[in-house]
Amino acid sequence: MKKVEDYVVSIPDFPEPGIIFRDVTSVLQDAEGLKLAIEGIQEKLEGLEFDVIAGTESRGFIFGMPVAYNLHKPFVLVRKKGKLPRETISMEYELEYGSAVIEMHKDSIRPGQKVVLIDDLIATGGTIEAAAKLVELLGGEVVKMVFLMELAGLKGRERLAKYDVDSVICYEGK
């Protein structure tokens, strides 16, 4: 029986020498791989009390939405600046080269709601940290962050030490 990591294609020296790119699209392209990925993320939430699942654009949508559907929870979009049609709050965060801004609708999280954040990958943790700050600005509480894959060598888990962070697959390198 295959495991979800068996569906991840690893591409050496991409986008530069010494880097191993972990391609999530190979998981999505196989029905069994996708099923295992969704089930693996969902298993990380067993026994946890929460109200809302939020996912970051765009692969957080892909993995978070089916989990929200399966668990009968609402799903909140965390998007790049300028993509949401109603009143938003925003958070700027640093990238390796420059910065970016993400947004949520102002009415997407109510004070006191317990929120799970889902994304495909934790690398440095900058994007998901910004998403957590947005949840907190709206009065929500981030009770867990779940990722399909973790690149432990980039130390995102350390950056997110104040949160409950979990991943289905953990790769030791970058």
Tell me the percentage of the chain whose pLDDT exceeds 70: 100
Question: Does 59 participate in catalysis according to the annotation?
Answer: yes
Predicted confidence (pLDDT) at residue 19 exceeds the cutoff of 90: no
CA angle 55, 128, 115 (to 5 degrees): 55
- Given the residues 46, 49, 96, 172, select the one marked as catalytic: 96
Question: Does 136 participate in catalysis according to the annotation?
Answer: no
> Residue 71 is encoded by which pair of tokens?
């668990």
Write down the pLDDT at residue 32: 97
Quick: pLDDT tens for 105-164: 999 999 999 999 999 999 999 999 999 999 999 999 999 999 999 999 999 999 999 999
- List, edge to edge, every strand of the sheet that includes 75-80: 88-95, 98-105, 75-80, 52-56, 114-122, 141-151, 165-171
Radius of gyration of the chain (CA): 16
Predicted confidence (pLDDT) at residue 100 exceeds the cutoff of 80: yes
Coil, strand or helix: which one is 86?
A: coil
Spatial separation of the C-alpha atoms in residues 62 and 119, rounded to whole Å: 8
Write down the pLDDT at residue 15: 87
Q: What are phi and psi of 148, to 5 degrees?
A: -70, -45
Q: How confident is the model at residue 97 (pLDDT cuts 50, 70, 90)?
A: confident
Write down the pLDDT at residue 96: 73
Coil, strand or helix: which one is 100?
A: strand
Q: Identify the burial level of 19 via C-beta atoms within 10 angstroms of its C-beta, where 0-12 means exposed, 13-18 middle and 19 or more buried.
A: middle
- Given the residues 22, 59, 79, 157, select the one marked as catalytic: 59
Coil, strand or helix: which one is 20?
A: strand
Quick: pLDDT tens for 39-91: 999 999 999 999 999 999 999 999 999 999 999 999 999 999 999 999 999 99
Coil, strand or helix: which one is 119?
A: strand
> Residue 118 is encoded by which pair of tokens?
């889902």
Quick: pLDDT tens for 73-86: 999 999 999 999 99
Predicted confidence (pLDDT) at residue 173 exceeds the cutoff of 80: no
Write down the pLDDT at residue 145: 98
